[in-house]
Amino acid sequence: MIRILQFGATGQVSRAMIAGAPGRAILTPLSRADVDLADEAAIEAAIAAADCDLVVNCAAFTLVDKAEAEPEAARAANALAPAAMARACARRGLPLVHLSTDCVFDGTLDRAYREDDAPNPLSVYGATKLDGETAVLAWEKGVVLRVSWVFSRFGRNFIRTMLQLGRARDELRVVADQYGCPTDAVALADFILGAAPRWAGAAPGDAAFGLFHFTNAGATSRHDLAAAALRQDPLTRARLSPIAKRDFPEPAARPLNGALDSGRVSAVFGWQAEPWASAVARAADQIIAEGLDA
């Protein structure tokens, strides 16, 4: 059975990997308590000592607004830590799978972004994630999966927040002119676990390595994503009102169009993405059934 060393144990994708691994992989998740992402030597030592076939990095500084105030912390987790992982993986010949973001783009295109489109991050978060990508892709067995608007039944995310606010407020004002492709963390974990044996056995130069976009099928607005979640909850009482992004200022700028074209991952791996709406409905049902505060 494939052996995976995973950085990250508490985030949405980390938890989806842990839940999906039994019977498919021997997964060793490392939390920040196990390995401090700011300690490059500890990261390299963990990989050097691991009994594994590949490394997956689900860990990051993902608080986009907070990164503006804490750029060095964001750089340590999002750029320097992946670089340390890549160095250690290269020494052992191990594949490294790393998660990135649509925030490496500025959102000015009028179509979904492809892997060969030029990045132009608008925020500290996006810039540090782009630096992490560069470091990982410098290793010939590096894999970068760009994702966006991640949701699941695990932890805090936009879907859970909308469901909570839908019961607490009479009106929800949600941005209607910001677009992206939601990403189901459970589907992402399923893909990584399924592709792991190929990565572990592939030689440098295999098409399985490199940069990929991974999302559910279709793009939507924040407003319509909220509406899809709230439709699943019979106890919601909030009325949704669309607003423009300019009326919802945030410390960090985000792309107005963060839609990602996932055609390459389909072509290389044969992955068939589920439409975002059905995946969101399922996740919302699970969150409601398990309790909104779970």
The catalytic residues are 125
Total length of the chain: 294
Token pair, residue 154, equals 């695990």
Q: Is 145 strand, coil or helix?
A: strand
Q: Is 119 strand, coil or helix?
A: coil
Q: Is 141 strand, coil or helix?
A: coil
Q: What is the 3-state secondary structure (H, E, C) of 194-262?
A: HHHHHHHHCCCCCCCCEEEECCCECCEEHHHHHHHHHCCCCCCCCEEEEECHHHCCCCCCCCCECCECC
Q: Who's near 118: CB < 8 A, 6+ residues apart?
A: none
d(CA 63, CA 74): 9
Token pair, residue 99, equals 């998660």
For residues 105 and 156, the answer to whether their CB atoms sit within 8 Å is: no
For residues 50 and 43, the answer to whether their CB atoms sit within 8 Å is: no
